[in-house]
Amino acid sequence: MSFSITTWNINSVRLRMPIVEQFIVRHQPDILCLQEIKCQEPEFPLAPLKALGYEHIIIHGQKGYHGVAIASRIPLSEDHRQNYCNVGDARHISAIFERGSRRIRLHNFYVPAGGDEPDRTINPKFGHKLDFLEEMKVLKADTPGVSSILVGDLNIAPLEHDVWSHKQLLKIVSHTPVETDGMKDVIAKGGWLDLMRQYTPEPEKIYTWWSYRAKDWEAANKGRRLDHIWSSPELGPFLEKIEVLKEARGWNQPSDHVPVTATFKF
């Protein structure tokens, strides 16, 4: 039986609820993970999601900034949120769901963007991002009796073909060597499997984000893969497909990120 999980930085869930509903009606993922919801928990639009069959919703919200949520058609348990860097930002939430006899912990992350200057001595936001990555290195994909899936806007395009121009972006935040090496270290130390690159190996390009600054984002196509889906290695053989819904970048009042959906068969 197929089972799907979508990750999407929605960049204000209340503002963009119409396109969330549009996406759900057309694609109907079993679980929807949102980042940058930009609202506190009581303000989250529960009613439209529940009306569409997402009865199980957990939220880690914050006034005006950040925030992550998981909306699911199936029960969620063991709700957990980690306070990365001990600053109180709502950037992580996780829960357990079950498929048959398999228990899976789903992590939903919104990693700091890091500002514009890739130098922590003059840009505290970049230092925060690097510290956040360092703390992620202790997160293990393999835990006794529980498989893992990690999704979210990780704000790093780690590979050469995750950006429109590797050479031109080497000094641009999201693709600098200190960030890309840091993310590769998170993957290696945690024992994670990059499912998007399992399904679409390099050198094929993958983009999930196109800047609002581009006059014609589609014509320029200067994208980056900032959104990710990882898993513990034992789930890799069950991956059926990964879909990046590029067309969503052109919807009415779009996010600068598009939905990415992993479909499994187990």
pLDDT digits (tens, 9 = 90+) for 92-120: 999 999 998 999 999 999 999 999 999 99
Task: With residue 118 as reference, give the H or E element that holds it.
Answer: none
Over residues 209-225, mean pLDDT: 96
**Long-range pairs, 254-257, Cβ under 8 A, ≥24:** 254/16, 254/19, 255/8, 255/9, 255/10, 255/11, 255/16, 255/19, 256/9, 256/11, 256/209, 256/210, 256/211, 256/212, 257/8, 257/9, 257/10, 257/11, 257/153, 257/208, 257/209, 257/226, 257/227
> What is the model's pLDDT at position 100?
87
Alpha helices in 28-155 (DSSP H): 46-51, 124-136
Q: Is the pLDDT of residue 202 over 90?
A: yes
Task: With residue 52 as reference, give the H or E element that holds it.
Answer: none
Over residues 50-73, mean pLDDT: 98
Over residues 199-216, mean pLDDT: 97
Which pair of structure tokens corresponds to residue 131? 């510290």
- Over the stretch 125-145, which tens digit does the pLDDT of each residue have? 999 999 999 999 999 999 999
| Domains of the chain in sequence order | 2-265 (3.60.10.10)
> What is the model's pLDDT at position 265?
96
Q: Is the pLDDT of residue 1 over 90?
A: no
Q: Is the pLDDT of residue 222 over 90?
A: yes
Q: Is the pLDDT of residue 252 over 90?
A: yes
* Residue 66 binned pLDDT confidence (cut-offs 50, 70, 90): very high
**Does residue 153 sit in helix, strand or coil?**
strand
d(CA 187, CA 197): 13
**Could you tell me what percent of the chain has a pLDDT over 70?**
100
Length of the chain: 266
The answer to whether the pTM exceeds 0.75 is yes
**Does residue 187 sit in helix, strand or coil?**
helix
Residue position matching structure tokens 């939220």 = 59
